[in-house]
Amino acid sequence: MATLAATKTNLPGSTPGSTLLDRIGNTPLVRLERIAAELPGVQILAKAEWTNPGGSVKDRAVVAIVLEAMRQEKLCPGMRLLDATSGNTGIAYAMLGAAMAFPVTLCMPSNVSPERKRILKAYGAEVVWTDPAESSDGAIRKARELAKDRQYYYADQYSNDANWRAHYNGTGREIIEQTHGRITHFIAGLGTSGTFTGVSRRLKEANPQIECISMQPDSPFHGLEGLKHMATAIVPKIYDPNLADRNVEVETEAAYTMAKRLARTEGLLVGISAAAAVAAALRIGEEQAAQGKEAVIVTILPDAADKYLSERFWEE
């Protein structure tokens, strides 16, 4: 089984920063100038996570999960990695599986975008399609069923502490450094909750006054792919509801509108959950400006729009 060290040394002429794994993390922090233009004293900043090699924030958690499983010899030669995913985590697993020579089986709702399906096929991952009406919960149930077979290492991103630790050690630290500690508010969507949990824990240690705000869909039936409506979904074991100072709910239509606005005013083509995060950040910014307060609001843009361009809302 390949290890991180082997992955680096096996590449002829390899130098620091030149391998696939070295390119994960340290993503840019982008200032949304026009979105916040009418909010005096308020800055809205966003982590451009599509610059990771797999195209999303999920690269961070997946590399941590895989390397920890190898370290503990849970992912051994001859075993397949198994997990449930709504898309981006699966792509990250498939990418690393191809790069590090382990097979990957994914359970995924069959209504994910055509772009996601093509990417997974290109990487050579095995996909078990599940009922779209059951969303990611159906994929989780199927993965749990398959995990009884010992050929699999069930990574279980929803319960794996390596998920949130990747963001505690990486994303959270980067945000503190990139804002020079000036961040006042942090907002992230809830899917596995790994990003929100890890970053919030790091930020609260640095400054307990930073307000950490979780964002989720406003109903069980939504179009915010990758996010969970926690009140009606299988709640991830790594989720800690006590971390959030408050929760903001975002409507699917608001996310669609913001995705088009970001494309046409900021020149940023982002995914639907990213647009929802910006919509939530804008609401918090409007509150702060209305109260005459200054704020440095940071959010996460989990991916770009390349996996969503077949969605009809772009044409509407």
Active site residues: 58, 273
Q: For residue 277, how many C-alpha atoms fall within 13 Å in the half-sphere facing its CB?
A: 35
* Chain Cα centroid distance, residue 302: 5
* Chain Cα centroid distance, residue 100: 22
Beta bridge partners of 186: 212, 298
Beta bridge partners of 46: 30, 299
* Chain Cα centroid distance, residue 112: 16
Whose CA is closest to 120, among 142, 149, 92, 101?
A: 92
Which distant-in-sequence residues (6+ apart) come within 8 Å of 129 by Cβ? Answer: 108, 109, 110
- Please, what's the b/e burial string for 156-173 (b: 16 or more CB within 10 A of its CB; e: otherwise)? bbbebbbbbbbbbebbbb
Cα–Cα distance for residue pair 251/161, rounded to 1 Å: 29
